[in-house]
Amino acid sequence: MIDTKTFDIDEAPIWESLATVGVAPDAARIREILAKGRVMKGLDADDIVPLMAVSDPELLAELFDTARFVKDNIYGRRLVIFAPLYVSNLCANECLYCAFRARNKEVVRRALSQDEIARETRVLIDQGHKRLLLVAGESYPKRGLQYILDAIATVYSVKNGNGEIRRVNVNIAPLTVEEFAALKGARIGTYQCFQETYHHETYGQVHVAGKKADYHWRLQAVDRAMAGGIDDCGIGALFGLFDWRFEMLALMQHIRHLEAAFGVGPHTISVPRIEPATGSAFAEHPPSPVDDLSFRKIVAILRIAVPYTGIIMSTRETVEMRRETFALGVSQISGGSRTNPGGYAETARYDTSQFSLGDHRCLDDVVCDVAQLGYVPSFCTACYRLGRTGADFMDLARPGDIKYHCDPNAVSTFQEYLMDYGTDESHAIGERAIEASIAGMDEASARYSRVMVAKVKQGKRDVYR
- Which pLDDT tens digit goes with each residue over 7-54? 999 999 999 999 987 777 899 999 999 999 999 999 999 999 999 999
Average pLDDT over residues 438-464: 93
The C-alpha R_g of the chain, in whole angstroms, comes to: 21
Per the prediction, the chain carries an average pLDDT of 92
**pLDDT bracket for residue 278 (50, 70, 90):** confident
pTM: 0.94
Beta strand residue intervals within 248-350, DSSP E: 268-270, 310-313, 332-334
The reply to whether 80 and 208 lie within a common domain is yes
**The predicted structure's pLDDT at residue 141:** 67
Going from the C-alpha of 279 to that of each of 91, 315, 338, 356, 453, the distances in angstroms are 14, 20, 18, 12, 48
Residue 3 lies in a domain: no
- If phi > 0 it is left, if psi is from -120 to 50 it is alpha, else beta; for residue 231 that is alpha
Q: How many domains does the chain have?
A: 2
The reply to whether 379 and 402 lie within a common domain is no
Q: Which domain holds residue 347?
A: 72-383
The reply to whether 362 and 431 lie within a common domain is no
Angle between helices 424-439 and 403-420 (to 10 degrees): 160
Distance, first Cα to last Cα, the chain: 34
**The predicted structure's pLDDT at residue 351:** 59
- Which pLDDT tens digit goes with each residue over 142-178? 678 999 999 999 999 999 999 999 999 999 999 999 9
**The predicted structure's pLDDT at residue 118:** 98
The reply to whether 343 and 319 lie within a common domain is yes
How many CB atoms neighbour CB 408 within 10 A?
A: 28
Residue 61 lies in a domain: no
The reply to whether 294 and 427 lie within a common domain is no
Residue 403 lies in a domain: yes
